[in-house]
Structure 1
Amino acid sequence: MHARKVVLVTGAAYSKDLGESLLRQMIDRKIELCCVVGVDAEAWEDALDWLCIGSDGEASHHITTTAHPHESVEEVISFAESFRCQGGPAVEVMYF
């Protein structure tokens, strides 16, 4: 079983071709929190928000998203650990 809180550490700018599949997997997993740190963090966060909303505006699942463009991975992990969610305290760190 996967953690419901994810810290996504990005090494490349967001593009639909590069990242949409990964973001859709997070939605399908019903994660509750996604914190993005690294290259183009705000664009990755924004893309996940739009995918959650859906093309028809009828969101099927809510994910709290945050972008941390000027913070360290350790700081973002600490933030995620302190975030309360139903899925418990575990945080999964994904490098992409």
Structure 2
Amino acid sequence: MLTPMFTARKIILHSPVSDHARLAGFVERCLADGVSLIAILGPGAEELEETIDWLVIGDGSDPSRFLTTSSHKDETFDDVLNMVQMWESEHGWAIEEVRL
């Protein structure tokens, strides 16, 4: 059994990623831990979102591989935090910031 890496189901991922070798493992851990949203903040957010989407989809054969992504290249941290707080707010899930 894997020990959960994330205590939160909503993640703010800072872009750019400094260690792309860790990205695939990060996405797999998000899927395993039931992360609902990865909001990507900063320069290159759109490209990073696309990369993550392809890592989630894989070959498309497993419909259980799902999480939502969003990109926010020109938004402030506070704006992104507000959006993430509103995401499935009825659950009261915590938010975690990640830098890779």
Q: Which bracket does the TM-score occupy, shorter chain normalised?
A: 0.7 to 0.9
Structure 1 segments unaligned to the other structure (5+ residues)? none
Equivalent position of 2:3 in the other structure? none
Equivalent position of 1:83 in the other structure? 87
Structure 1 contact 45–65 (Cα < 8 Å) conserved? yes
CA distance in structure 2 between the aligned counterparts of 1:87 and 1:94, rounded to whole angstroms: 21
Q: How does 1:30-45 map to 2 (within 5 A)?
A: 30-45=34-49
Q: Deviations over 1:70-92 (max 9, x none)?
A: 10112111110011167533111
Runs of 4+ deviating beyond 3 Å: 11-15
Q: How does 1:12-23 map to 2 (within 5 A)?
A: 12=17, 15=20, 17-23=21-27
Q: Deviations over 1:21-62 (max 9, x none)?
A: 222221221200110011311122112211221224323232
User: How many correspondences in the alignment?
Assistant: 95
Equivalent position of 1:94 in the other structure? 98
Structure 1 11/29 Cα, relative in aligned 2: closer, same or farther at 3 Å?
Answer: same
Query: 1:18 offset after TM fit, Å?
Result: 4.7
RMSD: 2.3
Equivalent position of 2:57 in the other structure? 53
Structure 1 52/86 Cα, relative in aligned 2: closer, same or farther at 3 Å?
Answer: farther
Q: Percent identity?
A: 24
- Please point out which of 43, 59, 67 is paired with 1:63: 67
